[in-house]
Amino acid sequence: MDAGSRQRAASGQAMVEFALSSLLLLMLVFGTIDLGRAVFTRTMLTNAVREATRQATITPNDLALIREAAVVRSPTLTLATNAFVVTCSSWDSTSPNNRSCDRKAPPSANPVQSLDKVRVCTTYPFGLAAARLIGRTTITFSECEQASVQ
């Protein structure tokens, strides 16, 4: 093998090494960006559910107001108002656990009372950028909060 052939072989080897290492570096950079976006999104989702739960402790019978409080709290998430599930139940283990969240419900429906607990849950699909290269496009965050009705 002459000197020219060795030079071309070394040049080709360097190009292959650069291609492999740059792919790894780009995956690391995009993964770090995705991690930052995921932490931000999860924090915003937690804040939205906490705000909805706070609203639910005040007005457990107004589901539209509860959902709107969450959407207003985290406008960057573009949360759908129907993505929130609000449930009410009793703290007392001797009484029926499931209650209607409607204070105007008939007595037979076991309406919500003060000191009952209200639970607000939601899920949110988070789109990944770097993981698309390996075939995964989204992960789903779910968040629930619980508090006493005032």
DSSP-assigned letters across all residues of 12-62: HHHHHHHHHHHHHHHHHHHHHHHHHHHHHHHHHHHHHHHHHHHHHHH-TT-
The pTM assigned to this predicted structure is 0.74
State the DSSP code for 77. Answer: G
Each residue's pLDDT tens digit, 4-53: 666 666 677 888 888 889 988 988 898 899 999 999 999 999 999 999 99
Count the neighbouring beta carbons within 10 Å of the beta carbon of residue 53: 23
Residue ranges of the domains in the chain?
33-148
**Tokens 């639970």 belong to residue:** 119
pLDDT, greater one: 74 or 135? 74
pLDDT beyond 60 at 104:
no
User: What are the strands, taking DSSP E only, across 45-113?
Assistant: 84-89, 98-99
So what's the pLDDT on residue 36?
95
